[in-house]
Amino acid sequence: SSFQYGYNVAVINSPSPFMQQFYNTTYLERYGRPMEDNFLTLLWSLSVSMYPLGGFFGSLMVAPLVNKLGRKGTLLFNNIFSIVPAVMMGVSDIAKSYEIIIVARFIVGICAGLSSNVVPMYLGELSPKNLRGALGIIPQLFITIGILSAQVLGIRNILGNSTGWPLMLGLTGIPALIELLLLPFFPESPRYMLIQRGDEKTARKALQRLRGWDDVDAEMSEMHLEDQSERAEGRLSVLSLLSQPSLRWQLVSIIIMNMGQQLSGVNAIYYYADSIYATAGVKQNDIQYVTVGTGAVNVFMTIAAVFIVEASGRRLLLLCGFGICCGACVLLTVALKIQETVTWMPYISITCVIIYVIGHAIGPSPIPYVVTTEMFRQSARPAAFMVAGSVHWLSNFTVGLVFPFLERGLSPYSFIIFSFICLVTLVYIWLVVPETKNKTFLEVCQMFAKRNKVEIKLGDGDLPLKEGKESLEDAIKVTAF
Per-residue pLDDT of 158-171, as tens digits, reads 998 888 999 999 99
- 230 pLDDT exceeds 70? no
More confident residue, 430 or 472: 430
**What pLDDT score was predicted for residue 349?**
84
28-40: per-residue pLDDT in tens?
Answer: 988 888 888 888 8
**What pLDDT score was predicted for residue 231?**
64
Q: Which residues contact 353 (CB under 8 A, 6 or more apart)?
A: 269, 273, 276, 294, 328, 332
How far, in Å, are 97, 213, 466 from residue 222 at the CA level? Answer: 55, 17, 19
CB 349 within 8 A of CB 321: no
Distance CA 54, CA 343 (A): 43
Please, what CATH class does the domain formed by 1-192 belong to? Answer: mainly alpha
Percentage of the chain lying above the pLDDT 70 cut:
91
244-259: per-residue pLDDT in tens?
Answer: 777 888 899 999 999 9
Region 410-423 average pLDDT: 88
3-state SS of the chain is CHHHHHHHHHCCCCCHHHHHHHHHHHHHHHHCCCCCHHHHHHHHHHHHHHHHHHHHHHHHCHHHHHHHHHHHHHHHHHCHHHHHHHHHHHCHHHHCCHHHHHHHHHHHHHHHHHHHHHHHHHHHHHCCCCCHHHHHHHHHHHHHHHHHHHHHHCCCCCCCCCCCHHHHHHCCHHHHHHHHHHHHHCCCCHHHHHHHCCCHHHHHHHHHHHHCCCCCHHHHHHHHHHHHHCCCCCCCCHHHHHCCHHHHHHHHHHHHHHHHHHHCCHHHHHHHHHHHHHHCCCCCCCHHHHHHHHHHHHHHHHHHHHHHHHHHCHHHHHHHHHHHHHHHHHHHHHHHHHCCCCCCHHHHHHHHHHHHHHHHHHCCCCHHHHHHHHHCCCCCHHHHHHHHHHHHHHHHHHHHHHHHHHHHHHHHHHHHHHHHHHHHHHHHHHHHCCCCCCCCHHHHHHHHHHHHCEEEEECCCCCECCCCCCCHHHEEEEEEC
**What pLDDT score was predicted for residue 280?**
67
Residue 161's Cα: distance from chain center in Å?
29
85-126: per-residue pLDDT in tens?
Answer: 999 999 999 999 999 999 999 999 999 999 998 998 899 888
CB 79 within 8 A of CB 26: no
What pTM value is reported for the model?
A: 0.84
- 466 pLDDT exceeds 50? no
Distance CA 1, CA 115 (A): 6
Region 391-406 average pLDDT: 82
Q: What mean pLDDT is reported for the chain?
A: 84
More confident residue, 228 or 317: 317
Lowest mean pLDDT among 91-100, 238-247, 413-422, 423-432: 238-247
43-98: per-residue pLDDT in tens?
Answer: 888 888 889 899 999 998 988 899 889 999 999 999 999 999 999 999 999 999 99
Percentage of the chain lying above the pLDDT 90 cut:
34
- 431 pLDDT exceeds 60? yes
- 468 pLDDT exceeds 50? no
Phi then psi for 249, rounded to 5 degrees? -75, -30
- 480 pLDDT exceeds 50? no
Distance CA 67, CA 251 (A): 20
Q: Do the two domains 1-192 and 240-464 of this chain adopt the same fold?
A: yes
Q: Where are the domains of the chain?
A: 1-192, 240-464
**What pLDDT score was predicted for residue 13?**
81
More confident residue, 256 or 269: 256
**What pLDDT score was predicted for residue 463?**
38
Distance CA 443, CA 466 (A): 12
Region 338-358 average pLDDT: 84
Distance CA 412, CA 352 (A): 13
Neighbours of 300 (CB within 10 A): 13
Fold of 240-464: Growth Hormone; Chain: A; (1.20.1250)
